[in-house]
Structure 1
Amino acid sequence: MRRQVRQRWEWCLIVSAVCFLVLMGLVAAGVTHGLDQDILNAIRAFKTTQHTRVITGITNTGGPTATLIETLVIAVILVLRRQPWQGGIAVATILMGDGFYSVIKSIVKRPRPLHQILPTGGYSFPSGHTLGTTLVALVIWTLFVTQWHRKWLRWTATVVLILWVLLVGFSRLYLQVHFPTDVLGGVLGAILLWSGIRLLGGNQPNS
């Protein structure tokens, strides 16, 4: 890995880690709850049957099963491109993401919102759907998009990936199964994890 690229990942790791830990502390202390609830109340006003149907479909693209399938497809493509190490990294990333958010949930133990449209169990912080979606998006962006030669194609793919993460994150709010800070925590947690993985795997083949 080139020194300049490594420094960027180091900064991503440091900034995301600090932001995540600060946010985690604020959530655990209950500081963000009032604002979180106000935002959910505002979103709930736009609830309709049609919206719920569409948004449920969107949220499913970021679920555990979907992200695992998406990652396996990515891994197969990388293996076919003779990049088995990166394929293994992609799969390991999602598995580590599952373990990471499970541990954080058990530490913070934040209850989910009360008025859930799609009843969901477990704790709330961070959002596993958002974390998983962001990880998949980061894997695709890092291992594929940045390698493309056409600038307009790179920009288009980047915008699509960002929109996907935003839509899945919003879907968790619309369905009232997460607070806004849970979604933000999912994004920050994913950046933290992927930055660390890139730094650890940076000296390996095809990295």
Structure 2
Amino acid sequence: MILLFFIQRSLILIFKQNNHRKWLSIAYVLAFFLLELMIITNNSLILGIDHSIQNSLGNLVSPVNTRIFSTITSLGSPIMDVIYLVIIMLVLFLNGKKDSSIWIGFILLSGNIISFLVKITVRRQRPLGKIIPASGYSFPSGHVFGTTLVILTLIFLVLPYLKSQATRKTITFLLIVWLIIVAISRVYLHGHFPSDVIGSALLAGAWWECCELLYFRYYKTIANVLKLNTHTNK
């Protein structure tokens, strides 16, 4: 329940449209670095929350649940997230939204670089007793980071084209639920600690907001250089 609370609170802030991107991005960055510092220093509070949630999910382990969560984690893998975003890029590009397509590509490439740099800097070992094989370091979760970027892209760049507000809200809700399920799958399978998936959502939200600031500040210059269409995302 604690895991769901933190993820839901992060998502409410991420998905809420606002005119204070600068301060929101700063808040995300500070929250992320605070969590990162607590992880690096083996803070007892974070360790206690991680172990408590892992023990709770451990009671749910069964062959059926493992197959379900293994399928979910495969669909939310970094490779699949890249495929999803590339498809969205192509669809937008072919429909004349070249600026949005290039912007997504920038977020995808730069975001994965940042996530990788954090991993090799923190060098947090994965939880013991992994149910399925997982290599590399634990913090942050590449699954949750990539899935969050995919969902943000869909909500802000794709769903606005749907005329029905009720449909947009329904799909947004389902996307949030999907992110929560992907996060739970990573903890259930012992691929990550709960704090890893929370940190990933914060990092993705921070980078999205930072990229929005860059987009609105340098859009005209880049558009003139690349001769893009004049469509601007609100």
Normalization by structure 1: what TM-score?
Answer: 0.93
Among candidates 174, 184, 190, match of residue 160 of structure 1? 174
2: CA distance, partners of 1:84 / 1:66 = 22
Residue by residue over 1:78-104, the C-alpha shift from the partner in whole angstroms, topping out at 9 and shown as x without a partner, is 012201121111122122221111111
- Asked if residue 73 in structure 1 is aligned to residue 78 in structure 2, the reply is no
Alignment root-mean-square deviation, CA: 1.5
Residue by residue over 1:46-105, the C-alpha shift from the partner in whole angstroms, topping out at 9 and shown as x without a partner, is 111111111111111221210111011101110122011211111221222211111111
1: CA distance, partners of 2:211 / 2:18 = 11
Normalization by structure 2: what TM-score?
Answer: 0.82
Hey, what does 1:96 align to over in structure 2?
110
- Asked if residue 46 in structure 1 is aligned to residue 71 in structure 2, the reply is no
Among candidates 141, 148, 151, match of residue 134 of structure 1? 148
Q: Give the aligned residue type for 1:11.
A: W
Percent same amino acid at aligned positions?
A: 32
> Structure 2: any 5+ residue segments left out of the alignment?
1-16, 220-229
> Structure 1: any 5+ residue segments left out of the alignment?
none
Contact 1:113/1:178 (<8 A) preserved? yes
Q: Give the aligned residue type for 1:28.
A: I
Hey, what does 1:37 align to over in structure 2?
51
Q: Give the aligned residue type for 1:103.
A: L
- Asked if residue 206 in structure 1 is aligned to residue 199 in structure 2, the reply is no
The 3-state SS of whatever aligns with 1:201 is helix
Among candidates 21, 26, 36, match of residue 14 of structure 1? 26
Hey, what does 1:192 align to over in structure 2?
206
1: CA distance, partners of 2:160 / 2:30 = 26
Size of the aligned set, in residue pairs, is 203
Contact 1:12/1:191 (<8 A) preserved? no
Runs of 4+ in 1 over 6 A off after TM superposition: none
1: CA distance, partners of 2:131 / 2:190 = 6
